[in-house]
Amino acid sequence: MTAAGVGEFTRESFGIRENIMKQLTLTAAEIAEMIKGKVVGEPGRVVHSVAGIKEAKGDQLSFIGNKRYEHQFETTEAGVILVCPDLESAASDKHTLIVTDHVDYAFATVVAVFAEKPPVFEPGVHPSAVVASDVKLGEGVTVGANAVIEPGVEIGDGAVIGAGCYLGHQVKIGAGTILYPNVTVMYRCTIGRKCILHPGVVIGADGFGFVPGPQGLVKVPQTGIVQIDDDVELGANTTVDRARFGRTWIKSNVKVDDQVMIAHNVVIGESSILVAQTGIAGSAELGRGVVLGAKAGINGHITIGDGVQVAGTSGVVKSLPAGAIALGTPAESQREFMARHTLPSRFEKLQKKFEALKAEVEALKGSAR
């Protein structure tokens, strides 16, 4: 199995042939057909690779996805550029354009085609791995050096358990899932199909629960599990705590950046995005398609509706309705935030106008004497 098998786009999926030097070559017309775009310029212009708009050369493809970056046409050397419809008029002899309604998605598609293939994971169990006798390994599973797999674990076909990983008792890992080195999945937790857990991820550590007792703080047993559904990706050193009761639940297609903290009994809806260093307190529930900016904090026992966007470093202390855009600490609606934070500058402008009018009045008084 290869890691490329997990992705949506691969070279093989488009039936593209590579030459003897493994140098991939596509024309603008072929790329346009792939992404269902429209060529404006030279259809036969050849592309060998992709690059950022500042670094791209004449045989490379790049993208400009917003009209406010139109000035980059003046300095880029990119031969072929993916653009939004608003930029179709920027075509010139210097650049061939491919017009598409979804520039970011189209560029990701093309990057996947040109990208080097990831390392191949050879199926089998490394001699230094410790695997309990009753573990169920699917076809083509890879278990890396010094991995430890406890009794009762089930691992689906083609899964990869990287070097130094630990899988606790009765853990279940779905087919095609990749655990990169030093991932920990504690007892009874479940990971779905085609997930990616980057190095240092910890799934199923105890939730943070203590109550005062006669002799000090008493630990509250955390008896639940973590359930991660299919096609979830968790960034390096992200932690997901087990539930006090029931489950901490990350639903399908959720994408989580590095160093994110997800507490006990949290529920995260499908296709949500959590950017680096976000923290979500216990029993918070996020709807579908929620986006949390970097270092956002979510209070416990609140509900974040479908499609909510929270700006980076914001602190959300109360529930938010579907579709809300929130920022600041405590977080408030975009309109409230902008009104509050633009008020001082508006007041300053009014004060200057008042002083100017006052001076004019004084001048008029002086001339009337």
CB neighbours of 37 closer than 8 A, spacing ≥ 6? 31, 82, 98, 99, 100, 106
Q: Is residue 191 part of a domain?
A: yes
Domain that holds residue 7: 3-114
DSSP 94: S
Cis peptide before 330 (omega within 30 of 0): yes
Ramachandran bin of 360, using left for φ above 0, alpha for ψ from -120 to 50, beta for the remaining angles: alpha
| Residue 74 CB neighbour total at 10 angstroms | 8
Q: Is residue 347 part of a domain?
A: no
CA distances from 257 to 8, 277, 292, 336 (A): 19, 8, 10, 29
Query: Is the same domain home to 86 and 141?
Result: no
Q: Is residue 201 part of a domain?
A: yes
Query: Is the same domain home to 132 and 100?
Result: no
Position 4 confidence tier, pLDDT thresholds 50, 70, 90: very low
Question: Any idea what the CATH number is for the domain that residue 138 is in?
Answer: 2.160.10.10
Three-class DSSP category at 251: coil
Q: Is residue 131 part of a domain?
A: yes
Residue whose C-alpha is closest to residue 174's, from 195, 197, 150 = 195
Query: Is the same domain home to 281 and 160?
Result: yes
Query: Is the same domain home to 41 and 99?
Result: yes
Question: Any idea what the CATH number is for the domain that residue 66 is in?
Answer: 3.40.1390.10
Give the model confidence (pLDDT) of 146-167 as tens digits.
999 999 999 999 999 999 999 9
Structural contact between residues 92 and 70, judged by C-beta atoms closer than 8 angstroms: no
Of the candidates 93, 114, 135, which is a domain's last residue?
Answer: 114
Asked whether the CA dihedral 328, 330, 333, 337 is positive or negative, the reply is negative
Query: Is the same domain home to 156 and 297?
Result: yes
Q: Which contiguous run of DSSP H or E holds residue 309?
A: strand 309-310
Query: Is the same domain home to 129 and 104?
Result: no
Ramachandran bin of 216, using left for φ above 0, alpha for ψ from -120 to 50, beta for the remaining angles: left
- Given this model, what pLDDT does residue 349 score? 76
Q: Is the pLDDT of residue 22 over 50?
A: no
Give the model confidence (pLDDT) of 293-304 as tens digits.
999 999 999 999
Q: Work out the average pLDDT over 87-98.
A: 89
Give the model confidence (pLDDT) of 333-343 as tens digits.
767 766 666 66
Compute φ and ψ for 27, nearest 5 degrees: -90, 165
Query: Is the same domain home to 289 and 164?
Result: yes
Q: Is residue 184 part of a domain?
A: yes
CB neighbours of 117 closer than 8 A, spacing ≥ 6? 2, 4, 11
The mean-pLDDT minimum among 91-95, 306-310, 315-319 falls in 91-95
Q: Which contiguous run of DSSP H or E holds residue 87?
A: none
Q: Is the pLDDT of residue 19 over 50?
A: no
Query: Is the same domain home to 98 and 136?
Result: no
Q: DSSP letter string over 14-83?
A: GT----TT----EEHHHHHHHHT-EEES-TT-EE-EE--TTT--TTEEEEE-SGGGGGGGGT---SEEEE
Three-class DSSP category at 121: coil
Query: Is the same domain home to 108 and 130?
Result: no
Residue whose C-alpha is closest to residue 104's, from 131, 65, 133 = 65
Q: Which of these is catalytic: 48, 71, 264, 341?
A: 264
Query: Is the same domain home to 80 and 152?
Result: no
- Given this model, what pLDDT does residue 1 score? 30
Q: Is residue 71 part of a domain?
A: yes
Q: Is residue 246 part of a domain?
A: yes
CB neighbours of 36 closer than 8 A, spacing ≥ 6? 100
Query: Is the same domain home to 196 and 275?
Result: yes
Q: Is residue 323 part of a domain?
A: yes
Q: Mean pLDDT over all residues of the chain?
A: 90
Query: Is the same domain home to 107 and 249?
Result: no
Number of domains in the chain: 2
Q: Which contiguous run of DSSP H or E holds residue 268?
A: strand 267-268
**Is residue 301 annotated as a catalytic residue, yes or no?**
no
